[in-house]
Structure 1
Amino acid sequence: MSDSVRHDPASSLLRNRNFLLFWSTQFVSLFATSYYMIVLPLWIYRATGSYLHVGAVATVGSVVFILFSIYAGVFVDRHDKRRILVASDLIRAVLVLPMLLVSSVDSIYIAYIAAAATGAATAFFVPSQNHLITAVAGSGGLRRANALLHFSYSATLVIGPIVGGLAVTGFGYQVSFFANALSFVIGALGSFLVTLPAEPPAPAGRRPSFLDDARAGFRFVIRDGVLRPVMISQAIVFIGSGANATLFVLHLRSIGPAGIGIYMSAQGAGMLVASTVLSLSDRGEKASVRAIAYCGLALGVTLALFAWLTPQHLVVGTATIFTFGIALTVYGVETRTALQAFSPKELLGRVTAVATLISRGGAAVSILMGSALAAAVQPKGAIICCGAMIFAGFILLLFGTRTPVAPEMRLSSAGS
Structure 2
Amino acid sequence: MTGLQRNFWLMLTGRSVSKLGDTFHFLALALMIYAKTHSALSVGQVMVASYLPAILLGPFLGVWIDRLDKRRLAIACELTRACVVLSIPFLPNVYWIYLMTFVAAVVGFTSSNSQHALIAQLFPKQQLLGYNAKIQTSMQVMAIAGPILAGMVIGFWSYTAAFVVDALTFLFSATTLSLLTVAAKEAAKQGAGAKKKQFWAEFRAGARYMMQLPRVLNATAVMFTAMIVSGMFNVLLVVFSKDIIKVTDTQFGWLEAGIGLGLALGAITLTQVKNVDLLQVVRFGILVDALLIALLGTTESFYTEWLVLVGTGMFSVMAMIASATLIQSEAEQPYIGRVLGFYNTVFMAGTVGSMALAGVVEAWFSVREIFIYGGLLTAVATVLLSMKRLRKTDVSAEQAKA
TM-score, normalised to structure 1, is 0.87
Q: Which amino acid aligns with 2:118?
A: L
Contact 1:35/1:162, CA 8 A, preserved across alignment: no
| 1-structure distance, mates of 2:214, 2:389 | 7
User: Which among 324, 330, 334 is matched to residue 322 of structure 2?
Assistant: 334
User: Which residue of structure 2 aligns with residue 9 of structure 1?
Assistant: none
Aligned partner of 1:212 in structure 2 is: 201
Corresponding position: 1:36 with 2:20:
no
Aligned CA distance change for structure 1 residues 48 and 328 (closer, same or farther; 3 Å)? same
Q: Distance in 2 between matches of 1:277 and 1:115?
A: 34
Which of 47, 51, 66 is equivalent to 1:77?
66
Q: Structure 2 stretches of 5 or more lacking a match? A: 398-402
Q: Give CA-to-partner distance per residue, 1:156-178, whole Å, 9 cap, x none.
A: 22211111111111122221111
- Residue 342 of structure 1 and its aligned partner are, at CA, apart by 0.9
Which residue matches 2:293?
A: 303
Q: For the residues of structure 2 that align with 1:78 and 1:205, how far apart are their CA atoms?
A: 6
More displaced, 118-127 or 295-304?
A: 118-127
- How far has the Cα of 1:412 moved from its partner? 11
Counterpart of 2:247 in structure 1 is 255
Displacement of 1:113 in angstroms is: 2.3
1:341–1:410 Cα contact (<8 Å) kept:
no
Partner residue, 1:8: none
8 Å contact from structure 2 (residues 23, 143) kept in 1? yes
Match of 2:375 among 366, 387, 392: 387
Structure-2 change in CA distance of 1:38 and 1:288 (3 Å): closer
Corresponding residue SS for 1:308: coil
Contact 1:238–1:363 at 8 Å: present in 2 too? yes
- Describe the superposition over 1:284-337 as per-residue Cα deviations: whole angstroms up to 9, x where unpaired: 3x434333222221011111101211xx23433332222222211211121111
Matched, 1:137 2:123: yes
Residues 378 and 165 from structure 1, CA distance in 2 versus in 1: closer, same or farther, beyond 3 angstroms?
Answer: same
Q: Is the 8 A contact 1:374 1:381 kept in 2?
A: no
**Equivalent residues in 2 for 1:9-408 (5 A)?**
16-102=5-91, 107-198=93-184, 199-200=187-188, 207-253=196-242, 254-279=246-271, 281=272, 283-284=274-275, 286-309=276-299, 312-399=300-387, 401-403=388-390, 406=391
Partners of 1:31 and 1:205 in 2: how far apart? 35
Alignment-mate amino acid for residue 164 of structure 2: F
Matched-pair contact (CA < 8 Å) for 1:308–1:384: yes
Could you tell me which runs of 5 or more consecutive residues in structure 1 were left unpaired when the two chains were aligned: 6-12
Moved more, 357-366 or 149-158: 149-158
Post-superposition CA distance 1:58-108 (Å, at most 9, x none):
2223223432222210001011101110011111100012212235xxx22
Q: 1:181 to 1:346 in 2, by over 3 A?
A: same
Q: Alpha carbons of 1:412 and 1:194: their partners in 2 closer, same or farther (altered >3 Å)?
A: farther
What is the CA–CA distance in structure 2 between the aligned matches of 1:329 and 1:205, rounded to whole Å? 34
Distance change in 2, residues 1:144/1:373 (3 Å): same
Deviation of 1:227 (Å): 1.1
* Mapped contact 1:150–1:275 kept (Cα < 8 A): yes
8 Å Cα contact 1:154/1:271 also seen in 2: yes
Partners of 1:37 and 1:316 in 2: CA distance: 28
CA RMSD after TM alignment: 2.3
Q: Residue by residue, what CA displacement relative to the aligned partner does 1:2-44 show, whole Å, maximum 9, x if unpaired?
A: xx87xxxxxxx6xx10121121022111112212211111112
User: Secondary structure, in 3 states, of the residue corresponding to 2:298?
Assistant: helix
Q: Deviations over 1:376-407 (max 9, x none)?
A: 112222122221221011111111x341xx46
CA contact under 8 A between 1:240 and 1:389: conserved in structure 2?
A: no
Deviation at 1:48, TM superposition (A): 3.1
1:236-290: CA deviation from partner (whole Å, max 9, x where unpaired): 11112122221110111132322322332222222222212322x2523x43433
Q: Share of identical aligned residues, percent?
A: 23
CA distance in 1, matches of 2:192, 2:381: 42
- For these two proteins, the number of residue pairs brought into alignment is 390
1:89–1:185 Cα contact (<8 Å) kept: yes
**Structure 1 letter corresponding to 2:248:** G
The answer to whether the 8 Å contact 1:266/1:322 transfers is yes
Structure 2 Cα separation of the partners of residues 34 and 173 of structure 1: 13
SS at match of 2:365: helix
Separation (CA, whole Å) in 2 of partners of 1:54 and 1:319: 29
SS at match of 1:207: coil
SS at match of 1:20: helix
Note the alpha carbon deviations across 1:192-244, whole angstroms, 9 max, x for none. 11111232355569833211211222222222221111111111111121222
Cα distance change, pair 316–382 in 1 and its aligned pair in 2 (3 A): same
Q: Secondary structure at the match of 1:226?
A: helix
Q: 1:391 to 1:51 in 2, by over 3 A?
A: same
Amino acid at match of 1:243: M
In 2: Cα distance, 1:39 partner to 1:83 partner: 29
Residues 92 and 118, structure 1, Cα contact 8 Å, conserved in 2: yes
SS of 2:125's partner is: coil
Instruction: Report if the CA contact (8 A) 2:24-2:163 is conserved.
Output: no
Report Cα offsets for 1:118-151 as digits up to 9, x if no partner.
Answer: 1221232122111111122223321112112221
Shift of 1:361: 0.4
Letter in 1 for 2:110: F
Which amino acid counterpart does residue 174 of structure 1 have in structure 2? T
